[in-house]
Structure 1
Amino acid sequence: MQRGWALSEEPADPHPDDIRATTGRRRAGPAGRRPVQDRPVHTARTALTLGAAEIVGKLSMLVLTVGAARMLGVADFGAFSYALAVGMLAAVLPMWGYDAVVIQRASAESTRLRALLAELLAMRTLLVVLAFAVVGALTGLTSLSGRQGAAAGLLIVAAVLMDTYTEAYRSAAAVLERQGMMAIVHLMQRLLTAGAALAALFGDTGLTGLAVAFLAGTLVGPLTAAVLTRRTGVAPDWHAVSRASLVRLNRGTWIIGVASLVLMVLFRIDTVMIAWFVDDRAVGIYAAAYRLLETTLFVGFVAARVLFPLMASTPEPKRVQHYTELGISMMAAVYVPYATLLWCRGHGVLRILFGTQFADEGTGMLAWLAPAPLFFGMSYLASFSVVAAGPTLRALYSSLVALVVNLGLNLALIPRYGGLAAAFTTTLSYAVYAAALILLGRTRMGTPRLPRVLLPAVAASALACAPLLAPLPLAPALLGAAALYVACWLLVTQRTDPHQVQVLRRMLRRRRLT
């Protein structure tokens, strides 16, 4: 089995005939089974396409966040960040692992995709209504700024819940290997949302105007995704939805759902607890530092979206280990140098983006949060690797271990140390979660060779520290660090895993030819 970017040098398996019933383009085959194609250059280009769209989308949301922090003030920015956190926690209920189950089942039996998509959308609608009703009933706990703040908060929560429909269509696109289409939808949605929100901010409409614009921009995503998915020939088969089919959809999802809930608790509960135990201002400072973590998490999402269908189609342990190592390698190439940048120049980055006040009080938090993206990405990918062959209690046990660590340390430390404690606990919890998944999931995903996978990024980042620590302005320091990092990463990777470099060269060569 080849490693790294080189997924396989053998020709991909043909698609079965009965895919014609799903896409109108592919041929049928026995029993409706279609292993997801295993093509190294195609997979790498898909990852880069998704990554490019995510980068632009995240940058647009970063601009929105910076604008909100500077124009709303620390307290209202804290209220906005708190409402987002509550919305993300509420969205766990309608998500509940259904997307992973649909990808896993449809990747193995593609003729079920239309029925599974309809069941997913029906179940999601029921749970979105329930989640919003619960949050609405608890507005006293989910607002920070009185009646107006509660109304704005509910609009933001509604926007986050609506975004779960876009994720449903992402699942179908992953099975169809049409993720580039959904990357365009995601990019358009983010750009429109950021543009509408910034217009509201410049119009001095305050927190309520920002919330209305945020909801309006978000709704573009699921509506556009529904139209484009239907045009591929994959319209939801509503006739397949019944009580029995929804019961089958839910069978086994509780394990993935609880694990997803834990991951979201690890992701957002720190902001909620700071609001409870400290104040709005502390939430605003922490949210600014946290945004620099959150902006890069798309790398982990992209890795999982690209690799999980390949794992689920043939979930043999060696194959799953191969893709897990590939995903960690992809993430380390981005996250390790990014953590190095934040350690060396975190104060300057915060000052440029958010201002001196945020930089002076948030640099310590940012230092503790710097390794969190890597640990988050590893835990996120490993949670998919463990369930590639179906739900398992190992994922649940791992999530519970991380949950106990997170809640215990947050309750003990946040009242005294505030955002610093939250940052430390977040990073440690993700590390514990990743370690537990790898240890408990060995029989399903093998044992990833972490030293070998992480070595290129760690060695190259160590070399890149020199210009970052030198007394240079930020821009030339970044250019010098980037040049050293890329050269060293290529050199070390050529020695440890030459297939990665070979596939990257092939991909770039094809792009030049086209």
Structure 2
Amino acid sequence: MAVLDKPAAGARGAARGGLANMAGSALAGGTGVAVTWIVARSLGAEQAGAFFAATAAFVLAGGLAKLGTQTGLVYWPARLRATGRTHLLGACLRTGLMPVMVLSVVLAVAMWLAAPAIARLTAGESAHVVGAHTAGLRVLALFLPLQAMTDALLTATRGYRAMRPTVTLDRLLRSGMQLGLVGLAGVTALWTAASLPMFALAWAAPYLPVTILSAYALRRLYREAKAPGVTTRRAERSALRREFWRFTGPRAIASVAQLALQRIDVLLVAAFGGLVAAAVYAVAGRFVVLIQFANQGISQSVQPRLAEALAVGDRRAANDLYQTATGWLVLVTWPVNLLVIFFAPVWLRLFGDRYAAEGVAVVAVLAGAMLVATGCGMVDMVLAMAGRTSWNLVNVLVALAVTVVLDVLLIPRYGALGAAIGLACSMVVNNLLPLIQVGRSAGLHPFGRGTRAAGLLAVACFGVLPWCLTAVSLGRTSAVLVAVPVFLAGAWLLRVPLALDAFKPMRRTS
């Protein structure tokens, strides 16, 4: 049998799941950037802005339909298994999934009916795109229930510590199909007029097969874990429903506010700054999604293990997991953030000269905020797993208020840069508030040896070295070719504080 202490075992389990999830997330993030490029180049700035506004509305409505179950459907299955109440898993799944199914249909109908009003609101002075914008919103409305159910079903599989369905179905299959279908739409646009509804259909269609496969994956996991011949009493099911929604209710509002933090700025830029500014902002901020995918890749693997540790009062194991995972997150995301700033004038020009002219400052502001956010680790999730979902709700609402107020004040004057400043301030607020709360209420913090080592290494190799090398007339690419091996060598030398040995296969002794 494997000989490991409990914290090390948790780190190894998180490493195995997190590595696969991060690899899938990297691919999904890359395909997302490719999709953004195809849309921006095929539709032109105005219609591309309408497309990004439509998908933002779609994701916001889907987030509302999920009712916060992204947390509840991991927290409760993990807690039930840790406390020996596996016979209630079926009731838990029904409690979380059925309301999502019903509400997603209601919101899809509402989105269909409200599409003309949303299009007029976000089109601003670009009245000639309202018709296509409305049609695109209605195409997306048809797929809204599938999007909500896909996320809820895959969340539930993670409650069983199963990362593979999320990686293979969401990160690989869905994102790969989106790239293929949007790419096909882009090729078609070379011979015919580009159609926003056609691109919306290509982007949303993959949710159909992925929803079906996600339901099958969850059904299989449930049957494997179900205790044979065990029945549940009505009182137990009723008590579970009350506890589930008492925990998940605040998170339902918080999850919508969290999505609003990520998406409402695009709608506000479209409404106050125009569709062209919205397109610039969406393209320049696309790298944020890459960072969020990396965060999700690690967080989703750590989440059930952290919930189990906190459920049985093992705060040492929980703190070790939090600090180790934060070190990995900084090691992966800080180099990306710093390279995004360094190469901003280059990669933005691939989307068009206007994006390069107006987007560099947007990138710098958002990347700086992401350094702070990732340095705090997955603190929002840690606070929720500690049972403080009401605190989580207050934090997100405060951050959302910061975004909306600053956007309304700054977008009319500064356009996309004003929205970037608003989002950056809200990200800082939304991470520092829960960081203080987690430390005071649960005695947890992310600043272990691994976090400090990863941060210093990333800043030295990608925040200082490339700029010094370019200052002595070395090209950007050459400077990075020097920085990368230095970074890899430093990671190897610091492998012990970074806990990189957790990624090695376990040795088994009889």
**Normalised by the size of structure 2, how large is the TM-score?**
0.85
Confirm or deny: 8 A CA contact 1:336 1:371 kept in the other structure: no
Instruction: Report what 2:101 is aligned to.
Output: 125
Q: Compared with structure 1, are the counterparts of its residues 449 and 373 closer, same or farther at alpha carbon in structure 2 (3 Å cutoff)?
A: closer
Q: Compared with structure 1, are the counterparts of its residues 463 and 247 closer, same or farther at alpha carbon in structure 2 (3 Å cutoff)?
A: closer
Confirm or deny: 8 A CA contact 1:385 1:445 kept in the other structure: no
SS at match of 2:208: helix
Instruction: Report what 1:113 is aligned to.
Output: 89
Instruction: Report what 1:5 is aligned to.
Output: none
**Normalised by the size of structure 1, how large is the TM-score?**
0.84
Instruction: Report what 1:466 is aligned to.
Output: 465
Q: Compared with structure 1, are the counterparts of its residues 245 and 261 closer, same or farther at alpha carbon in structure 2 (3 Å cutoff)?
A: same
Instruction: Report what 1:57 is aligned to.
Output: 28
Q: Compared with structure 1, are the counterparts of its residues 462 and 252 closer, same or farther at alpha carbon in structure 2 (3 Å cutoff)?
A: closer
Q: Render the CA deviation track for 1:423-457: whole Å, top value 9, x for unaligned.
A: 12212211111110011233444241537454223
Instruction: Report what 2:41 is aligned to.
Output: 70
SS at match of 1:354: coil
Partner of residue 134 from structure 2, selected from 144, 150, 175:
150
SS at match of 1:390: coil
1:343 aligns with 2:341: yes
1:86 aligns with 2:57: yes
C-alpha distance in 2, partners of 1:48/1:451?
20
- The worse-fitting range, judged by mean Cα deviation, of 199-208 and 66-75 is 199-208
Q: Compared with structure 1, are the counterparts of its residues 197 and 179 closer, same or farther at alpha carbon in structure 2 (3 Å cutoff)?
A: same
Confirm or deny: 8 A CA contact 1:83 1:157 kept in the other structure: no
Unpaired runs of 5+ residues, structure 1, are 1-7, 13-36
Q: Render the CA deviation track for 1:274-328: whole Å, top value 9, x for unaligned.
A: 1111101001111110112212311111222111111111313443333222232
Q: Render the CA deviation track for 1:366-410: whole Å, top value 9, x for unaligned.
A: 111113434445678212211214344322232233223222211
Partner of residue 254 from structure 1, selected from 249, 257, 270:
249
Confirm or deny: 8 A CA contact 1:58 1:295 kept in the other structure: yes
Q: Compared with structure 1, are the counterparts of its residues 479 and 166 closer, same or farther at alpha carbon in structure 2 (3 Å cutoff)?
A: farther
Percent identity over the alignment?
23
Instruction: Report what 2:114 is aligned to.
Output: 138
Q: In the TM superposition, what are the counterparts of 1:176-215 in structure 2 within 5 Å? A: 176-186=160-170, 187-204=172-189, 205-215=194-204
Confirm or deny: 8 A CA contact 2:112 2:141 kept in the other structure: no
Confirm or deny: 8 A CA contact 1:256 1:391 kept in the other structure: no
C-alpha distance in 1, partners of 2:365/2:413?
17
C-alpha distance in 2, partners of 1:376/1:396?
18
Instruction: Report what 1:23 is aligned to.
Output: none
1:222 aligns with 2:211: yes
Confirm or deny: 8 A CA contact 1:266 1:403 kept in the other structure: yes
Confirm or deny: 8 A CA contact 1:297 1:377 kept in the other structure: no
1:168 aligns with 2:155: no
Partner of residue 487 from structure 1, selected from 486, 489, 492:
489
C-alpha distance in 1, partners of 2:233/2:332?
43
Partner of residue 296 from structure 2, selected from 295, 298, 301:
301
Amino acid at match of 1:479: L
Aligned-residue offset at 1:162: 2.2
Q: Compared with structure 1, are the counterparts of its residues 193 and 234 closer, same or farther at alpha carbon in structure 2 (3 Å cutoff)?
A: farther
Instruction: Report what 1:104 is aligned to.
Output: 75
Confirm or deny: 8 A CA contact 2:386 2:442 kept in the other structure: no
Instruction: Report what 2:437 is aligned to.
Output: 440
Aligned-residue offset at 1:87: 1.4
Instruction: Report what 1:401 is aligned to.
Output: 398
Confirm or deny: 8 A CA contact 1:401 1:436 kept in the other structure: no
Unpaired runs of 5+ residues, structure 2, are 124-128, 227-231
Instruction: Report what 1:501 is aligned to.
Output: 500
SS at match of 2:488: helix
SS at match of 2:5: coil
Amino acid at match of 1:189: R
The total of aligned residue pairs comes to 472
Bigger RCO (CA 8 Å, 6+ sep): 2
SS at match of 2:118: coil
Q: Compared with structure 1, are the counterparts of its residues 158 and 390 closer, same or farther at alpha carbon in structure 2 (3 Å cutoff)?
A: farther
C-alpha distance in 2, partners of 1:11/1:417?
52
C-alpha distance in 1, partners of 2:224/2:200?
31
Aligned-residue offset at 1:107: 0.9
Confirm or deny: 8 A CA contact 2:323 2:448 kept in the other structure: no
Partner of residue 263 from structure 1, selected from 238, 258, 266:
258
